[in-house]
């Protein structure tokens, strides 16, 4: 999921829980918004980018 485009808006979506941030008018604005919100981007086992919200990051760390 990561950043999805809906018409002319870009919405960051967590790849774990599907939480959404408010839609932005450009892809770069969406990237900036997820960074401000504390989201992390990383590559998964297949080399695809995924975006993870802070709540899911905390759960991952607690489970390790």
The torsion of the CA quartet 36, 19, 3, 15, rounded to 10 degrees, works out to: 110
How many alpha carbons lie under 13 Å from residue 30 in its C-beta half-sphere?
A: 23
- Please count the other Cβ atoms lying within 10 Å of the Cβ belonging to residue 21: 19
Residue of 15, 16, 14, 34 lying closest to 24 (CA atoms): 34
The model's pTM = 0.86
The pLDDT value given to residue 1: 63
Nearest to 2 by CA among 16, 20, 15, 17: 15
pLDDT in tens, 33-56: 999 999 999 998 999 999 999 999
């Amino acid at each position: 999921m990561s950043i999805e485009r809906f018409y002319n808006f870009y919405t960051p979506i967590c790849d774990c829980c599907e939480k959404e941030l408010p839609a932005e008018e450009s892809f770069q604005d969406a990237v900036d918004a997820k960074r401000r919100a504390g989201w992390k981007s990383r590559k998964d086992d297949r080399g695809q980018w995924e975006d993870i919200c802070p709540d899911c990051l905390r759960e991952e760390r607690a489970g390790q």
